[in-house]
Amino acid sequence: MASQLVEKYMRTEHLPHIWCPGCGNGVIMHAVVRAIDKLELDKNKVCIVSGIGCSSRAAGYLDFNTIHTTHGRALAFATGIKLAKPELEVVVIAGDGDIAAIGGNHLIHAARRNVGMTVVVINNNIYGMTGGQYSPATPAGEFGTTAPYGNIDRPFDIAALAAGAGASFTARGTVYNPAQITSCIQKGILHKGFSLIECISVCPVYYGRKNKKGSVIDMIKWQRDNSIPVEKAGKLPPEELKGKIVTGVLSQATYPEYTEEYAKIIEKVSGGINYEQA
């Protein structure tokens, strides 16, 4: 018998999950569940969409309407679901490789259209499931199995990328502070429009071991010592923010929501006739 929250929102027959000891995915999945519980959403009105990767296994463990889709295309499927059933609360759970590399194009266009969904990005800085290849979120100079001499690519700032593409809500949190992730996800779900929450996770097995980051506890303590709240970061010079994690609600704006605009077009063209009932 697990905790009430886990019993209510997870498929406990599939637990324990396959994630490695200390993996941040479990903490973030718990935060998603806690946010949904705090908002008292109807389980049948929530749809969890995920792509491929370690993080995307979450759709299998969560007991909502769930769909496990193809690599990088979670946002495309989620857009379709939201357009067909705008009353659903669509939550996408995806990894950094899934959303910023393979699904990079879907990300910028879903953000540009401002489709009303919440995207929880689990950023562990590496492709964990396939054996530690470097991802677009691997910091420059770090190692991966495909970067044995160090990665020369500059990493993506996923939250800034989404905000630049037109996302109306972006936030960031770390696994060190699950309460902050929960509150960011809550705000993201309540926000009308495309909201993206970048959760900085830990991959102690592939990323940590390859880069000699120590144990999972050392990695979480590093997050604690290197995160700066966004309110404080605004007052600091850019040099001091190098290599730091800025956390909190990063940007918020009001743009027309896509499914609402689409409904207006249907209304305009059909002249108010409801063809579904006719």
Answer yes or no whether residue 26 interacts with other proteins by CB under 8 A.
Answer: yes
Task: Give least dist CB 128 to other proteins, A.
Answer: 13
Which x/- pattern, by CB under 8 A, does the window 219-238 give for other proteins? -x------------------
Stretch that binds other proteins, among 17-25, 95-103, 132-140, 164-172 (CB under 8 A): 17-25
Tokens for 277, please give them: 């009932």
Kindly report each contact of residues 80-87 with a partner whose C-beta sits within 8 Å and lies 24 or more positions away, as own/partner: 81/47, 81/49, 82/115, 82/116, 82/117, 82/258, 82/259, 83/115, 83/258, 83/259, 83/262, 85/47, 86/116, 86/259, 86/260, 86/263, 87/45
Nearest to 28 by CA among 40, 19, 39, 41: 19
Task: Give least dist CB 208 to other proteins, A.
Answer: 12
Nearest to 36 by CA among 6, 80, 81: 6
Answer yes or no whether residue 19 interacts with other proteins by CB under 8 A.
Answer: yes
Give residues 175-214 in contact with other proteins (rule: CB under 8 A): 178-179, 204
Determine if residue 177 is left, alpha or beta; phi over 0 gives left, psi from -120 to 50 gives alpha, anything else beta.
beta
Among 8, 13, 15, 39, indicate the residue that binds other proteins (CB under 8 A).
15
Of 19 and 143, which CB lies nearer to other proteins in the complex structure? 19
Give residues 44-103 in contact with other proteins (rule: CB under 8 A): none
Answer yes or no whether residue 215 interacts with other proteins by CB under 8 A.
Answer: yes
- For binding to other proteins (CB under 8 A), which residues are involved? 1-3, 6, 10, 15-17, 19-27, 30, 178-179, 204, 215-217, 220
